[in-house]
Chain A
Amino acid sequence: MPAVERPLIYANLRKPGYTVDIDCYLRNGGYEALKKAVALKPDEVCKEVELSGLRGRGGAGFPTGMKWKFLDRKSGKPAYLVVNADESEPGTYKDRQIIYKDPHQMLEGIAITAWAIQAKQAFIYIRGEFVHGAKILERAIAEAKAKGFLGQNILGSGYSCEVVIHRGGGCYVCGEETGLIESLEGKRGYPRIKPPYFPAVLGLYNCPTIVNNAETMAQVKHVLAFGGAEFAKIGIPGDSGTHIWGVSGLVKRPGLYEIEAGKATFGELLYDLCGGPLDGRTIKAIIPGGSSTKILKVGERFKGKLANGTEFDWALEDIPLDSNSIAACGTGLGTGGTIVIDDSVEMIQALSNLNAFYAHETCGQCTPCREGSLWLSRVSKRITTGGGMETDVPLLLDIANQVAGRTICAHGEAVAWPVQSAVPKFKDEYLESIRKRQKGEAVPTLKLI
């Protein structure tokens, strides 16, 4: 049976004639979930979210309800909610849709979350490049305040919460939650070390802070609309709700596909929904969940045992689209931003492109990441364009191994993982590229670096 979409987050924004104003949102059932939420005690809202099994949509997939539980409520300091709308992971473009086309859905989730954690104030940290997105959200906030959904005395509950839009400055590392907090405090976005700076304890202004992804906020709205137990029935046990797959690169129909967790496979996503490879080409590899997730090669076999004891033996096309199955194959669902690479590309070109990205985006705070990312970029570039040596292939791995696990934030892993996962799988092809350049054979026409 071909895969089908189940739009939940994108249900409204895909309707013809759907607009960003609050009247349109209200006509489509808007802010009803917030009414349900404020009729409950904040703790009861937290319980619903915990019961729903919702996992964060920012890439790490941490259970949202559990994150909220970690909030330090004993310190007596005010709590803050920070929404991460700094969508910057290469291959990821799902939050932009919500912000530009259905901003109130996200704001409703923010109001519910702020109530649940009794936040003193909420901030939306949005990409600096989303100039219009920020304006759309500002207008939506003003509309919501005028109707009593945000601001003073929300829906007569006595609870007040202002939401502030904060535009970033085009910096990838500010998508890391502690880097984002530093940036929100008006500093360079240097990530903080954990411990002690776990945001739930020492976050914004050293106060307890919950940092949640923009789409997670939209999902929270649906958790309250369905009720936690009903929401948990969408998807599969351990991964509830829908995942938005943003497919890009070399397929016939790149685009955003919202699928119930675990209810389709990579094969169905790539070949049915996206129409398969371009004419005359073959898909060679995919990066499943944003550029920092480990690469999967077409033709590999994935064998092992799931947490529930089920044994599996899959080809790439068989992998179910849920976070546990994908993690069992040695990579991650991440943000669902799948980048597709076909046989017109030499794999070292793709790696070079990503290495250049990480070298550009390292904040420079930790030596292994600052130096390692630059060297990875230089070495992979010379393999691609000429001047590479056979010893460069193990050198790439050696450098990556000295970065991962040795930095303050996960940017170190983001630098290392593409290399650490790709070198063992594509070593022979890299060596072939080196030999081709040595013989004077040109780089493929599609330039990636």
Chain B
Amino acid sequence: MHESPSSSAPARALKPETLTQAPAIIAQYPQKRSATMPLLHLVQEDRGYITQDDMTWVAELVGVTPMQVLEVVTFYPMYRQSPIGRRHVRVCRTLSCALRGSYALMENLEQSLNCKRGETSPDGDFTLEFVECIADCGCGPVVHVDASMHENVKPEDAGKFAAQLKATLKDPSYGLNPPVPGTPEWNG
């Protein structure tokens, strides 16, 4: 994957609220090790990716070795060990969406967002990826951006869609609220 310039900079510390949330997460489970995945999600939501120090922190909290946490990080596609763009754009590649044009959509988005699949745009705004089925098959092609699903994104509308995504960069509330009627991710 294309590395953004910031990846060589030392990682900042985790936010205080991340640290304070950890004990309650661990306490939900009969065995501490079960908290490995939620703690990794927590870390990734804080800084956008997971560092070796983070893995050591999680390992100490749940009572395993850092290697056992690394095993988890490398197994699940959602965990990342390097930073990505400001918006994470994931286009569904699997059959239902492909039959509705997701390959053409991907090609058009590569143009409109100025980056190749699997890479981050030079300005660091977008990371574009093909992903496997994200369970919204009747509304294909679907595009999962950060936490929100966008449905029925037709290949010919890629330019318009890319412009919408660029506008969200200025909207701090984008993707924070659950879907309600009339918003993306509702028809599903």
Q: Interface residues, chain A, CB within 8 Å of chain B?
A: 20, 78, 87-93, 95-97, 100, 120-121, 127-132, 135-136, 162, 164, 166-172, 183-189, 205, 246-250, 254-256, 287, 291, 337, 339-341, 345, 350, 353-354, 356-357, 360-361, 363, 446-449
A95 to B135, CA, bound (A): 9
- CB-CB under 8 A from B36, the residues of chain A are 186-187
The answer to whether A353 and B76 touch (CB under 8 A), given A100-B185, A132-B147, is no
- Selected contact of B132 from candidates A87, A172, A246, CB within 8 Å: A172
Check if B7 is an interface residue, CB within 8 A of chain A.
no
CB distance from A378 to the nearest CB of B (A): 17
- B38 and A447 contacting across the interface, CB-CB below 8 Å: no
- A91 and B137 contacting across the interface, CB-CB below 8 Å: yes
A127 to B181, CA, bound (A): 22
A133 to B62, CA, bound (A): 26
- CB-CB under 8 A from B95, the residues of chain A are 90-91, 249, 287, 291, 339, 350, 353-354, 357, 448
- B41 and A448 contacting across the interface, CB-CB below 8 Å: no
CB distance from A123 to the nearest CB of B (A): 9
- A90 and B75 contacting across the interface, CB-CB below 8 Å: no
- B137 and A92 contacting across the interface, CB-CB below 8 Å: yes
The answer to whether A128 and B135 touch (CB under 8 A), given A164-B29, A168-B76, A186-B34, is no
- A132 and B178 contacting across the interface, CB-CB below 8 Å: yes
Check if B133 is an interface residue, CB within 8 A of chain A.
yes
Check if B179 is an interface residue, CB within 8 A of chain A.
yes
- Interface CB pairs A-B, < 8 A, 13: A20-B178, A93-B135, A100-B185, A120-B30, A130-B135, A132-B177, A132-B178, A166-B37, A168-B37, A171-B77, A248-B137, A357-B133, A446-B103
The answer to whether A129 and B99 touch (CB under 8 A), given A164-B29, A205-B31, is no
Flag B100-144 by CB within 8 Å of A: 1 or 0 each. Answer: 110110000000000000000000000000011111111110001
- CB-CB under 8 A from A287, the residues of chain B are 95
Check if B23 is an interface residue, CB within 8 A of chain A.
no
CB distance from A284 to the nearest CB of B (A): 12
A447 to B29, CA, bound (A): 45
Check if B79 is an interface residue, CB within 8 A of chain A.
yes
- A256 and B138 contacting across the interface, CB-CB below 8 Å: yes
Interface residues of B in 133-160 (CB under 8 A from A): 133-140, 144, 147-148
Check if B171 is an interface residue, CB within 8 A of chain A.
no
- Selected contact of B76 from candidates A171, A249, A447, A449, CB within 8 Å: A171
A184 to B79, CA, bound (A): 16
A188 to B33, CA, bound (A): 12
- Selected contact of B37 from candidates A89, A131, A169, CB within 8 Å: A169
- CB-CB under 8 A from A164, the residues of chain B are 28-29
A205 to B30, CA, bound (A): 9
- CB-CB under 8 A from B82, the residues of chain A are none
- CB-CB under 8 A from B29, the residues of chain A are 164
Most buried by A among B33, B96, B144, B178: B96
Please give me the 10 A-B residue pairs with the lowest Cβ-Cβ distance, nearest first. A169-B76, A186-B36, A248-B96, A447-B103, A248-B137, A131-B147, A186-B33, A170-B78, A132-B178, A188-B75
CB distance from A162 to the nearest CB of B (A): 8
- CB-CB under 8 A from A97, the residues of chain B are 188
Check if B163 is an interface residue, CB within 8 A of chain A.
no
- Selected contact of A448 from candidates B62, B77, B103, B147, CB within 8 Å: B103
- CB-CB under 8 A from A447, the residues of chain B are 98, 103-104
- B131 and A170 contacting across the interface, CB-CB below 8 Å: yes
CB distance from B12 to the nearest CB of A (A): 23
A397 to B176, CA, bound (A): 47
A127 to B75, CA, bound (A): 15
- Selected contact of A246 from candidates B93, B137, B177, CB within 8 Å: B137
- A132 and B185 contacting across the interface, CB-CB below 8 Å: yes
A260 to B94, CA, bound (A): 29
Most buried by A among B76, B134, B138: B138
Interface residues of B in 72-92 (CB under 8 A from A): 72, 75-79
- B37 and A357 contacting across the interface, CB-CB below 8 Å: no
CB distance from A40 to the nearest CB of B (A): 28
A20 to B185, CA, bound (A): 15
- A188 and B98 contacting across the interface, CB-CB below 8 Å: no
Closest residue of chain B to A172 (Cβ to Cβ) is B132
